[in-house]
Amino acid sequence: MATRTDRIQISYTLTFKTPFHCGTGIREGLIDRTVVKDGQGFLYVPGSTFKGMLRERCEQLARMFEELDDDMRVLIADPHEEKLALRGFGSTTTMITRIFGSHIQPGHLYFDDARQTDTEKSEYDDKNDREHGKGKYKNLQFDLYTQVRLDRVTRTAVQGALYTSEFGLRDLEFHGDIMGWLECIPINDQAGSPTYSLLLLLAGLHMIDRLGGNKSTGKGQCECEITSVKVGDQDIKKEQWQSWFDELDALSLYSYSLENTVKEEEA
């Protein structure tokens, strides 16, 4: 079965169920931990933050379904481990690498920042002064929380460790896109069949349930809803791509299919 290269575009909506923190790492005035905002002061979710969490979920699925030897398991481990990355030279391309790239093989998918729509942003306008009220009340997007760092051993407050953080409010929605090229092997010969990597990517999106900092304290709980899937010039109906999830067990056959494909191409 030949490798296939698809042009894909996936749109999604992130809805936060609890306060969330996508931090800048920058202090501002009396606020020690600020959240990311665009040039107009509106909150957004960086594409890099979303991509990192999505990769983590896809890695979990790959380990669950794919039958890997020890060397292959290393290749879907932490991508920031430089020594481990060197072991990837000359090795089999994993589903994870096809989606997200690696040190030796760049990915061809672009993860857009997830942003609020213009309609949602208009909720922060001054309704009585529309001409000058663009985002006048945008500070209502987030709230301030003051916390103290605890000593893990004594479970008491650490002296001088009082800090204030910004958190986006619950129920905020953000809309983003994943687009580009995805090269992989079709699961079967049937028309409209997804590739292994596309199926893994869609399943990983459905698994996203937390995002940002302070997840261990219950922050950042969210729901990711896929709103549209396009492969090439074809819009895939929701009923069709949802039916692909019935074939998740097929992910365990990826290495076998890849081995056969390589043999066919070398023959």
pLDDT in tens, 198-252: 999 999 999 999 999 988 888 999 999 999 999 999 999 999 999 999 999 999 8
Q: What is the pLDDT along the chain (267 residues), one digit of tens a residue?
A: 678 899 999 999 999 999 999 999 888 888 888 999 999 999 999 999 999 999 999 999 998 886 555 444 444 455 555 555 555 444 558 899 999 987 777 889 999 999 999 999 988 887 776 555 567 888 899 999 888 878 778 877 787 788 899 999 999 999 999 999 999 999 988 878 899 999 999 999 999 999 999 888 889 999 999 999 999 999 999 999 999 999 999 998 888 787 776 566 555
Q: Residue 75 has what pLDDT?
A: 46
- The whole-model pTM stands at 0.85
**CA separation (Å) from 234 to 4, 6, 9, 183, 229?**
15, 11, 10, 17, 9
Q: Residue 136 has what pLDDT?
A: 82
Q: What is the DSSP letter of 2?
A: -
What's the maximum distance between 2 C-alpha atoms anywhere in the chain? 73
Domain of 108 in residue numbering reads as 4-266
Q: Residue 94 has what pLDDT?
A: 86
Calpha distance 44→214 (Å, rounded): 17
Calpha distance 140→178 (Å, rounded): 29
Alpha helices in the chain (DSSP H): 47-65, 70-75, 82-86, 95-100, 118-121, 196-207, 238-243, 254-266
Give the count of domains, the chain: 1
Q: Residue 108 has what pLDDT?
A: 93
Amino acid letter at 37? K
The candidate with the shortest Cα–Cα distance to 199, out of 1, 10, 2, is 10
Backbone phi, psi, residue 42, to 5° = -95, 140
Q: Residue 30 has what pLDDT?
A: 84
CB of 93 within 8 A of CB of 262?
no
